[in-house]
A and B are shown apart, each in its own frame.
Chain A
């Protein structure tokens, strides 16, 4: 137990360190950071001051140490666009993003698990055929186009829902469905596979031979075992969810972290971009860690690996 948990716990900081290193290298390799932080009208004095402030007059290793220190304190510098500390700006947008993600995740998880179970129970029947076809096709579907199709149908043609922005619950429907579509095919396929794998296990045969009803076998015996791979998958999907939310927020002008990140890239607002990337990375790493730990709590076999 201890070794598995410690191993998992040890990976998280390594990942964070890698992210920091990547950001640091990108910042330093791609040109003078002073140029990134300053606008055109700056004077040499201001530049020199910033250079000292950013520790650019010191050896690279020391620079990295300072950078890590700043990161640890959540200090990513000042946004050029908004003249305010970068991290709080990003955090302000977090609520909108989390709301969207939570709704999308619920849709994808509920629909995906149900469809996956149905598909597995009716294996090789027409329902299974249909669900699997949708799932496989969905994996090749660029969700940003799906978002645009939804806008065309439900906003432009039918006029039922607004095209973009935030306000009532009606604004959330299309973005949430679009974001959910990033995850749905995966959830369907993994649930289907996982349920099918359990179907012929000895414990299921035993349960059946005891004369238990099909539904009891399914819900009491198979599901608790089959959902573990779904849980793993959930952790792996954290990155997809973040990537998907960046695209979804851009399509629907949803005022979240992803849209701030993209608009900041085009405004050359480096501190905000970096703060947003860091926040997202930390969230994903934590999500993976939590899923790993949850899993070892649910399934004792994992701890013994």
Chain B
């Protein structure tokens, strides 16, 4: 990461604002959208955005092949990306950190079991596993959360494992042990709070990663099925209209890029903030 590309504070502000805006749009979709996202109007199909010569203010980002309002579909599409992104991040963060802390704290056979499992799982490409599972059980939002959540636990397990192992030797943990505190108490009261800042940064980056995965699956037709609007399936629909209506694909693509970059920006800024050691010097 180039140090002086952008100030840390600036990155955090910019990333945070866009992420917050997306969150608000997703939460308040019925109020933010100008049209019903699923309402078809065949007479108004494939209308260009408002800045085009032939565009009109009625649909300011234009319409798709069924005359559905693109702006409203992008707003509603954010719900699925945000939901899947955050929920699967929480799932993998929770399960991965728990297992990583147990492995790091206990050591021995438990460590061997958990960490070798993580190594083995790391060798399995998550996109393949996701394709397989979604192909078998279908692509509802819940299934996507489950699949993408499970395929991310190793990242957290490896991270927390290393840190927990270092923390275990520290005086405050030994003091707690000598007072007869239980393992669960030590992990939750003494170790977890130390890991939290790093976990926050990594989780933010993970959300960006998961959103990209979700849109990719959706693009392949393996996400939440149509007619529900997702950024990925809008991009896929736009692919068939590239010649006549390139704005469908490009606006969905642009939305994905902006939201994912903003999340990455926020995550990187948080990491720099919480881990002041300059990176890549």
Chain A residues near B (Cβ < 8 Å): 11-12, 14-15, 18-19, 22-23, 26-27, 30, 124, 128-129, 132-133, 136-137, 139-142, 144-145, 148-149, 151-152, 156, 189, 192-193, 196-197, 200, 238-240, 242-243, 246-247, 250-251, 261-262, 265-266, 273-274, 277, 280-281, 284-285, 288
A-B contact pairs, 10 of them (CB 8 A): A132-B5, A140-B257, A142-B253, A243-B127, A243-B216, A246-B131, A250-B220, A273-B132, A281-B125, A284-B123
- Check if B246 is an interface residue, CB within 8 A of chain A: yes
Q: Which residue from A145, A242, A265, A284 sits with its C-beta under 8 Å from B135?
A: A265
User: What is the interface of chain A mostly: helix, strand, loop, or mixed?
Assistant: helix
0 or 1 for each of B106-130: is its CB under 8 Å from A? (1 = yes): 0000000000110111011111110
A30, A136, A193, A280: the one contacting B128 at CB < 8 Å is: A280
Q: What number of residue pairs across chains A and B have CB atoms under 8 A from each other?
A: 146
Residues of B with Cβ closer than 8 Å to A? Answer: 1-5, 116-117, 119-121, 123-129, 131-133, 135-137, 208, 212, 215-216, 219-222, 235, 238-239, 242-243, 246, 249-250, 252-253, 256-257, 260-261, 264, 279-281
Q: A242 and B256 in contact (CB under 8 A), knowing A26-B136, A144-B219?
A: no
- With the chains together, A118 CA to B257 CA distance in Å? 26
Interface of B is mostly: helix
Q: Are A145 and B124 touching (Cβ within 8 A)?
A: no
Residues in B whose Cβ lies below 8 Å from that of A23: 132
Query: Apart from A151-B242, A152-B242, A277-B132, what 19 extra A-B contacts exist at CB < 8 Å?
Result: A14-B117, A18-B120, A19-B124, A137-B261, A140-B257, A142-B219, A145-B249, A145-B257, A189-B1, A242-B128, A246-B127, A247-B219, A247-B220, A250-B219, A261-B131, A262-B220, A265-B222, A281-B128, A288-B123
Residues in B neighbouring A273, C-beta threshold 8 A:
131-132, 135
Contact of A142 among B256, B264, B279 (CB under 8 A): B256
Query: With contacts A23-B132, A129-B2, A152-B246 known, is A145 near B264, CB below 8 A?
Result: no
**Docked CA distance A193–B243 (Å):** 41
Measured between beta carbons, the chain B residues less than 8 angstroms from A251 are: 239
